[in-house]
Homo-oligomer: A and B are copies of this chain.
Amino acid sequence: MRNRDNAERKPTILKLGGSAITEKGTPLTPSMSVIRRLAREVSEAEVSPLILIHGGGSFGHPLAEKYRLKEGFRDPSQLVGFSKTHEAMVSLNKLVVEALIEEGIPAFGMPPSSFTVTRMGRVYGLEDKPIRMAIDLGLVPILYGDVTLDLEKGFAILSGDQIAALLAVRLGAERIIMGVDVDGLYTEDPKLNPSARLIQHLTIKDLEEIWRGIRGSSSPDVTGGMMGKILELIPPIKRGAKALIVNALKPRNVYKALKGEPGIGTEITKE
């Protein structure tokens, strides 16, 4: 039972950062106006097949830290922390899914913890048959950064970025759009140097030169969270997916990115 068009088209993967859809400083607080606006933009763009993945922001991190989930299983008292962290993510996912349903999108919440096993925090096994069947039918799977059962550590934290990149490889995605809370990659840290410029396009070769230190002072600012994001994106980009980093906090950016309009953020391609 397939939607013939969807079964033949390459999917688009849209990742929405936790820092864009939640209030960073306040635990368990969604940015409902941002979530609703993004749901409208996704609905208006009418992209199909589409898989949406969101981060945890202030829903996932505080509980994961409180129970030291990143260290893995050390003590049975952490188990209820695993439960609470997952349930907090279910709550955030519910808000995202309901906002999308409100806009007429057949959103389908799918918690990675139910079908993924990690090893030292990296995906070891991921049952993707229900996801494939869902997009073939016209549903829009909504995944998220989640806790997982881990072969070495007992449990682990799986980032939405890792899931987005892995699914892009598995499903041969055409595009990965990363909606974050900055405009893209800069030539330097714009907070430290006001003359820093936004980079519109980068290739894998550019990135490799940067990491080998060839670029020196003209290196883009790929530190911290952004560095991790870029590293995750390399495998799907090498397989031909276009990655686009856009500021999801600026209205219409995600819509334009989904529509393929140029010049919104930083595009990273194979060549």
Residues of A bordering B, CB below 8 Å: 1, 72-73, 76, 79-80, 82-84, 86-87, 90-91, 94, 97-98, 101, 104-111, 113-117, 125, 127, 129-130, 133-134, 137-139, 148-155
Ordered by A's residue number, 30 sampled pairs between the chains whose C-beta atoms are within 8 Å are A1-B72, A1-B73, A1-B150, A1-B152, A1-B155, A73-B137, A76-B138, A79-B137, A82-B108, A82-B139, A83-B105, A83-B139, A84-B101, A87-B94, A87-B97, A87-B109, A90-B94, A90-B109, A91-B94, A94-B94, A109-B111, A110-B113, A110-B114, A111-B111, A111-B114, A116-B130, A125-B129, A127-B127, A129-B149, A133-B149
Interface of A: prevailing SS: mixed
Chain B residues whose CB sits within 8 angstroms of the CB of A153 once the complex forms: 1
A93 nearest CB neighbor, chain B only: B90
Chain B residues whose CB sits within 8 angstroms of the CB of A101 once the complex forms: 80, 83-84, 87
Q: From B115, B137, B138, B139, give the contact of A130 (CB < 8 A).
A: B115
| Complex copy number for this chain | 2
Q: How far is the CB of A124 from chain B (nearest CB, A)?
A: 9
Q: From B83, B90, B98, B137, give the contact of A106 (CB < 8 A).
A: B83
Is B114's CB under 8 angstroms from A130's CB? Answer: yes
Is B107's CB under 8 angstroms from A1's CB? Answer: no
Chain B residues whose CB sits within 8 angstroms of the CB of A108 once the complex forms: 82-83, 86, 113
Q: How far is the CA of A104 from the CA of B97 in the complex (A)?
A: 28
Q: How far is the CB of A229 from chain B (nearest CB, A)?
A: 25
Task: Rank and list the top 8 A-B pairs by shortest CB-CB distance, nearest first.
Answer: A1-B154, A79-B106, A127-B127, A133-B149, A115-B115, A114-B114, A110-B114, A83-B106
Which residue, of A72, A82, A91, has the highest number of chain B Cβ atoms within 10 A? A82
Q: How far is the CA of A107 from the CA of B113 in the complex (A)?
A: 13
Is B86's CB under 8 angstroms from A109's CB? Answer: yes
Is B130's CB under 8 angstroms from A155's CB? Answer: no
Chain B residues whose CB sits within 8 angstroms of the CB of A91 once the complex forms: 94
